[in-house]
Structure 1
């Protein structure tokens, strides 16, 4: 129940005390209605007011999701159409990813996306464009992170009241959509164990994850391990970004 709807249930008892009088009106959307107004005031369709309140609440929630999704600042306006056309292979990859995004908006059981390819091929841009689309269009909860950041945030919880490693790993494992960039980039220590924990939990719960790596599949297995990569690739849309580096191309053209 919205704040306005909750207040309306007490309106009849308040009408007399506030000097309100019943008034009739006609709404272009909802037809005839009756509301209580101060003398001389124009009656307002309360159904329209309630709908406007719901729209504002949805917009506010989605704005909160956008602010908290972790997408880097340079990608906060990312769209698929912003990517410079390079080759037919790139067009096919973008079309396939856009198709996945459309399905993810309707069905959470869409599987993972694994983006593989060299630096500067637009992998992070595409993933962030997907995230922003799903937040803005569907209100889907999304988190963008990296393997190194997972380790940093989990380790920062050690010894803190109300936070611990297990709860932080559960948090990463529970987002409706998680993007792990630089999935293979981490230092020695607990990072690989933490990454495996998140991958395992999300796989068990059937939650979609977008994994991004500059490595090919064989090298990724060497760095992350066959068990983790097997779960990443299970029922996944695997997108090979084999075209050249956007940044180097722009430098050559300068």
Structure 2
């Protein structure tokens, strides 16, 4: 059975009936009254909706590829609770950092302070903002994950330590969470610092998150690495307020 329709056999007839929206004559087409402008708008709207769905799907995939944990995939600046000036300042600085990276500037950021203050939430907000508004690449890891990833390469002949470092250096922004928490072994700390040195050499931006104080940060990173983080511009954002997880 032939299911193709021969459009040349369908009668087109301009009628005297006007479209209530566009006030133009409607056409009788295949037994249906249509307004050409309405039909065009439906096609455009359908295309726009399809494009929006594709963009949303792509953004979700990019967020997933960025390595954010499930708890933080929906975190943004808008749903970060701001109840004091310190939190307002932190959000503003993080927004400025995201803007710099989106515009192509190179900068580094330290988020440090007490547990449960939303530092990872803020970093997720930065990641989502950058991915939503630019094509820049972003990746989230904990410090321990980076160290383990590199140490695993010693026994995995499919990759080498240098290859892991190159991979971690390739991202426009690398977020390193929980710095100083599970990387106290000298060798593990060395692995993380190798990545930081490589990113400095390739002029890439890095975001470090820690419960360290600023003094501890400087001591742990060492004079040379601390100096290098400042060279491309270093934003320092303290996060000292009540623990969101246990505050009433």
| TM norm. shorter chain > 0.5 | yes
Aligned length: 211
2:137–2:173: 8 Å Cα contact kept in structure 1? yes
1:192–1:224: 8 Å Cα contact kept in structure 2? no
CA distance in 2, matches of 1:179, 1:113: 9
Partner of 1:244: 242
Query: Could you say what secondary structure the match of 1:237 adopts?
Result: strand
CA distance in 1, matches of 2:155, 2:50: 42
CA distance in 1, matches of 2:125, 2:193: 26
Alignment RMSD (CA, Å)? 2.9
CA distance in 2, matches of 1:167, 1:157: 9
Residue correspondence of structure 1 range 208-247 to structure 2 within 5 A: 208-234=205-231, 235-247=233-245
CA distance in 1, matches of 2:78, 2:52: 28
TM-score of the aligned structures, taking structure 1 as reference length: 0.72
Query: Which of the residues 108, 112, 117 maps onto 2:108?
Result: 112
Deviation of 1:89 after TM superposition, in Å, equals 1.9
1:86–1:243: 8 Å Cα contact kept in structure 2? no
Partner of 1:97: 94
User: Structure 2: which 5+ residue stretches go unaligned?
Assistant: 1-5, 9-39
Deviation of 1:54 after TM superposition, in Å, equals 8.0
Query: Could you say what secondary structure the match of 2:136 adopts?
Result: coil
Query: Could you say what secondary structure the match of 1:80 adopts?
Result: coil
2:100–2:107: 8 Å Cα contact kept in structure 1? no
CA distance in 1, matches of 2:162, 2:82: 44
Deviation of 1:146 after TM superposition, in Å, equals 1.5
Partner of 1:192: 189
2:172–2:204: 8 Å Cα contact kept in structure 1? yes
Query: Which of the residues 133, 137, 150 maps onto 2:129?
Result: 133
Partner of 2:154: 158
Query: Could you say what secondary structure the match of 1:172 adopts?
Result: helix
Partner of 1:202: 199
Partner of 1:79: 76
Partner of 1:172: 168
Deviation of 1:160 after TM superposition, in Å, equals 2.1
1:199–1:231: 8 Å Cα contact kept in structure 2? no
Larger Rg: 2
Stretch moving more, 92-101 or 119-128: 92-101
Deviation of 1:79 after TM superposition, in Å, equals 0.9
Deviation of 1:119 after TM superposition, in Å, equals 1.0
Change (3 A) 1:157 1:57: farther
CA distance in 2, matches of 1:58, 1:142: 17
